[in-house]
Structure 1
C-alpha cells in the first residue's frame, strides 16, 4: 500500500517534479529497496518492475526513516489507502458480500488495481460477513458431474420465509453443468413429460440426496440476508434484493468449475441488474488504472 501511494502521488505531481531533484522518505525498508535507483538487484515481481520503469525518469533519492522518528503522519499514503479501501468495500457490498476467491476473480477479470492482500482484508473483516455468514461442516462424497448444460438438474424448495407478498417459497433449480440456480414456472412437471425428460425424487429431509440444490438454497438465502443487512431492510423484503442476489451468484466465480455460471452457460460475461458491467464510480470519466496479471518469465 505504501509503494502504491508513492506511485500515485508521483503521477499526480509529475508536472512539478520532472526535471527537479527531490527526496522520498518512507518508513518501510521494503519500499526503499523497491524504488532505490542505485540498487542493481533484480526485481522478480512484474508489478514492481513496471513501477520502477515508470519512476525511472524522476531524479530522486529515497530515504528510510523509522516510524518512531516520523512526527507527522504520512498523510498522503493514508488518504490514498483509505480511498482505495472505501471503493473496494463498496464493490464488495454491491456484489452481495462475495468471498475472497470470487472477489479476486471479479477484480482480475476487469483489471481493477487491487492487490490480493487488500481484497482479503476487506472480505475477512467485513462486519456483515462476520455476522451473517455461517460456518458449514463439509461432507465428503462423490458428485455425479454433468457434461453439458441442462443435462442434469437439481431441484428443491425452501420455505416458508417471511414475505410482504404471497410469495413465501423458493423453487431452486440448479444446472449441474453451469452451477447456476434459477426459478421456473409451476408447470414444470407437464413440461418435462412433454419433453421426455426423466425425473427422480430424493428422500425427504435427506440433505445428501440432493446436495447441489440444498447447497444453493443456503447460498441464495445467505446472499439475500447479506444484501438486506447492507441496506438495513427487514427480512420480509427479500424480493426487493432478489435480482441483485441472483446477479451476484450468476456473475461471480464458482470454484468447482473455475468460471462463473453465466460464462459457463452462455460463454460471455454478465452485466449488472442496471445494465452495466461495473459500478458507476468505475465507469465515470477519468484515468483508468489497469493491472496486468500475465508473467512472461520468472523475472518479469
Structure 2
C-alpha cells in the first residue's frame, strides 16, 4: 500500500514513521525540503498508484489553499483525508469541493501528540461507510494495539466534531489539575507536592495520561519555576464552547478553562484592576501600585 502525506511536522513526521513500521509506503511532501520526499504536490500525486489516498496533516490555516492546488491533480476515486484540527463546519464545504473532482473526503481527528509514534494515536473519523472501510489499513497502523483507539463517528464532519469535544474536555481536565497543583503549593501542610501527584498515578480515580505527564513535568522542574504561566488555545476550546451555545448545552467547566487561558496572557488583568478598585471603595482594602 502507498499513501501521500502532506505535512511532516511534529505530528505528520511521526505518523509517517509509524506507517513505515507497518509496511506502508509513504510519499511525503513538506515545504521543508530536508524532510520532504516529493518536490511539490504534482510530484507527490505522480508517485502514487491510483486510486490514490492523500492525507493532510497541516495547520488549519493552510488546508484550503492546499486543497485548491491538490484537487485538480487528483482523479475520480481518489480520497483526501484531513487529519488536522480543522473546524467541523468546514468539512462539508471541503467535501463538496472534492466531489466536484470525483474525489471523496474524510475528516479524521487525531490525538496522541509527540507520544503517538510509540504509543499509537486515537482516531475519530467522519465519512461515508464504504470510503472509511477502504482506509482501515491506514487507521489500523496508526491506532494503539488493542480494542480501542478508533471510532467511525459518523458522516463527514463527525470526526472533527468529536475531536473538538475531546479537546474541550482536555482543557477542563488540564485546568482542574493545574488548580489542584496551585492549591497544594499554597499550603504549608503538604511538604512534597510532586510526590502527591506521583502517588495518584496508581489506584486513584483521577489517574490519567495527563497525570503521568504532570509527573514528568514536576520531576524535571519540581516547582515549575522555569515555565512562564502563559497558555495559548488551539481554537478547539473556543469551538467547543460555541457549539455548546449553538446546541443549548451548558459547558461551564470547559468555558471556564478557556477563559483561564485568556487570563494567563495578561501581565496585569484589567478586570482584576476593577476588582481591586471596588474592594478598596467598599471595604478600604489596599490598592497595590503598578510596577514602574
Per the normalisation by structure 1, the TM-score is 0.24
Larger RCO, structures 1/2 (Cα 8 Å, 6+ apart) = 1
More helix by share: 2
> Larger Cα Rg: Structure 1 or Structure 2?
1
